[in-house]
Amino acid sequence: MSNSDPKQQRPRPGPWPPAPESSAMPPSSWAKRTGFRPKFSGETNASDSGQISLPSRPREQEAQPDLEAGRARPTANGRVESVKAQVTTPAAPPQASAEKEKTVKKRREVDGIPKHSANGNGAAVPASDQPPSQPRRQARNDEGIDVLPLSVDDDGAMARHSHLKYELRDSPGLVPIGLYGFQHYLSILGSLILTPLVIVPAMGGTPEDTANVVSTVLFVSGVTTLLHTSFGSRLPLIQGPSFVYLAPALAIINSPEFRGLNGNSFKHIMKELQGALIISSTFQAILGYSGLMSLILRLINPVVVSPTIAAVGLSFYSYGFPLVGNCLEIGAVQILLVILFSLYLRKISIFGHRIFLIYAVPLGLAITWAAAFLLTAAGAYSYKGCDINVPSSNIISEHCRKHVSRMKYCRVDTNQAIQSSPWFRFPYPLQWGTPVFTWKMAFVMCVVSIIASVDSVGSYHASSLLVASRPPTPGVLSRGIGLEGLSSVLAGLWGTGTGSTTLTENVHTIAVTKMGSRRAVEIGACILIVLSLVGKVGGFIASIPQVMVAALLCFMWAMLAALGLSNLRYSEAGSSRNIIIVGLSLFFSLSIPAYFQQYGISPNSNMSVPSYFQPYIVASHGPFRTNFGGVNYVMNTLLSLHMVVAFLVAVILDNTVPGSRQERGVYVWSESEVARREPAVTKDYELPFRIGRVFRWVKWVGL
């Protein structure tokens, strides 16, 4: 937050801080309904969760339009409400003021607001009703503190979405918007490509199979992103293979019935995954389009979302560094480089862009890959008389046995995916065969689809505060969840191995790249579809050494855990109630699955799967041993998934332990009637091509 200069503050009635002439919040306000108790000390405390409470201003200054935005200042539920504090900044120079006048004029024309003025709901008011001219504010982050949660940027300044280069409906031109869109996808490259690089080798797939699945993932991600930005929530959120689906996919892959498969085990297991995904995705689509998601929203709060998503990232600790340790000089350097770029060099700007922060993952991957290639070419991992192509079980020489692990994990020339990939390949549905439907695997995936919906709820709310004029209505959110279900059906038909859902990392990417344009994400999705048709692109990605994949995942999963916990900023993070609930949820999410995963395993047992996949074979030895094999499979598998345990503990405790709405941090969504009256909100979320008018009677999936 910028420091105010007393000499340049606008005139205020009475001393500063002024004595409140009325209640801090009117009875109809969001803060009053949520039990918010204003503080007049002007200071923060632990229970404020980073939000600052300052004295209220007189009533006559409440419904001021945001002059730079050309529309009224947004509030949490779509109403114009009392603003607790106004941060003033020095007056802008004449040239900057002229530029802002143009921006105001353009934005008002887009929103359908007359040029002269706008009231709190975005409707025109006569010019005579405007208050006397006052010094112009410099930026939109001079808005009320208690309207929407503020974020702290890398410079330590409190700011709202005014720092974005392009907002939700901005489209400055094809070339700049295309470059920014490609940058947006490149910055979350790890989230898009790392999941297939884990599951395909686990299914016994060849490098060529991995390349084909990667190309399919890029294609489906591009198509589903276009569908979501057009007919879903319409927020600039990228759809892709979420890490939420990774743990259940690995549990299905390591099911007892798939051990000892003869022939191509990859296609057989992939068809089982496709069947489970199609059924669970249909369930998710029904959950959204039937309006049931609006009812479930009453149970989903930041205190529930935070430990659930954090558990997704924390649950893969057995896969991360243990695999990196197979070649420390490559994997550890990869991790250190990404940390160096994303933390220590994050404020360095090159041509106005924070290159190291935005491209931390691709830059770290490129440098480490180049170093590993030079070491391989120099013969650092070539041992006399040893051949990497000889299976380890056939190696007789003790000298070669000692170095076989380094030859396998440190060399970069062992993967032939690029050579075996065609130049052109079109991913098509049912390319692996007809899906196989098994009820026990489908039931596990149905439960996971609820977790994916919980993840998306947090992403919708956080991203809307960055790019949109208001949070979405419950109907828009239900519509988005329903379309995510249809998107996962497409992922199941095409055979990506995981469902397609909103990437949680996308919210962080919007804040870092300062790109919130819906059009940029759509053009980036088109570029992704084109790249998916070039088979060599998939082959190039599939040739990333496994150690580097694990090293990148260490960073990505840590980011996912942190992004999950960041949802606590919408609640009172210092509340003892919330601390205990989140702590219990996280602890039991690690401890209870550990009990299931270790139950019945002898310390000296010789497992046929790698050590980092042992947590996912629980279906064969878990504590549930009834006469019904399917029930045993479902219960042992579900209770061994960290995110499921975290969700169950958090949702039960948060909805049974008493607490005020402000303490719980209940997500506030825009009211449908208010949203429909405001042109800006309507343009943000309404369906294109007048489709919304045709389905206006479907109240639970629209504005």
**pLDDT tens-digit readout, 153-202:** 443 333 444 467 788 888 778 888 888 888 888 888 888 888 999 999 88
Q: Tell me the pLDDT tens digit for each residue of 475-499.
A: 899 999 999 999 999 999 999 999 9
Q: What is the pTM of this model?
A: 0.75
Summarize the confidence of residues 661-670 as an average pLDDT: 86
Crossing angle for the helix pair 642-654 and 302-314, to the nearest 10 degrees:
160
Task: Mean pLDDT check: name the lowest of 5-9, 238-242, 409-413, 458-462.
Answer: 5-9
pLDDT at 506: 85
pLDDT at 110: 46
Q: What percent of the chain has pLDDT over 90?
A: 31
Between the CA atoms of 242, 327, 509 and 543, what dihedral angle is there, to the nearest 10 degrees? -70
Tens of pLDDT, residues 366-389: 999 999 889 888 888 877 767 666
CA 547 to chain CA centroid, Å, is: 24
- The candidate with the shortest Cα–Cα distance to 72, out of 27, 106, 112, 123, is 123
In contact, 253 and 269? CB cutoff 8 Å: yes
353 pLDDT band (50/70/90 cuts)? confident
Interstrand relation of 65-66 and 158-159 (parallel, antiparallel or unpaired): unpaired
DSSP 648-667: HHHHHHHTTS---HHHHT--
Q: What is the mean pLDDT of residues 46-71?
A: 40
CA distances from 581 to 448, 516, 575, 662 (A): 21, 33, 10, 16
d(CA 140, CA 62): 15
- Residue 97 — pLDDT band, cuts 50, 70, 90? low
**Which pLDDT score, from 0 to 100, does residue 132 have?**
45
pLDDT reported for residue 383: 77
Question: How much is the pLDDT for 60?
Answer: 41
Residues 3-41 pLDDT 10s = 444 444 445 444 444 544 444 444 444 444 445 454 433
Q: How far is Cα 485 from Cα 501, in angstroms, rounded to an integer?
A: 8
- Backbone torsions φ then ψ of 675, nearest 5 degrees: -65, -40
pLDDT tier for residue 393 given thresholds of 50, 70 and 90 = low
Residue at token pair 């007189």: 58
Measured CA to CA, the distance from residue 334 to residue 361 in angstroms comes to 9
CA distance 700 to 319: 41
Q: Is it true that the peptide bond before 58 is cis, omega within 30 degrees of 0?
A: no
504-535 residue pLDDT tens: 888 888 888 778 889 989 999 999 999 999 99
Q: Tell me the average pLDDT of the chain.
A: 77
pLDDT digits (tens, 9 = 90+) for 576-609: 999 999 999 999 999 999 999 888 877 656 566 7
Return the pLDDT at 183: 81
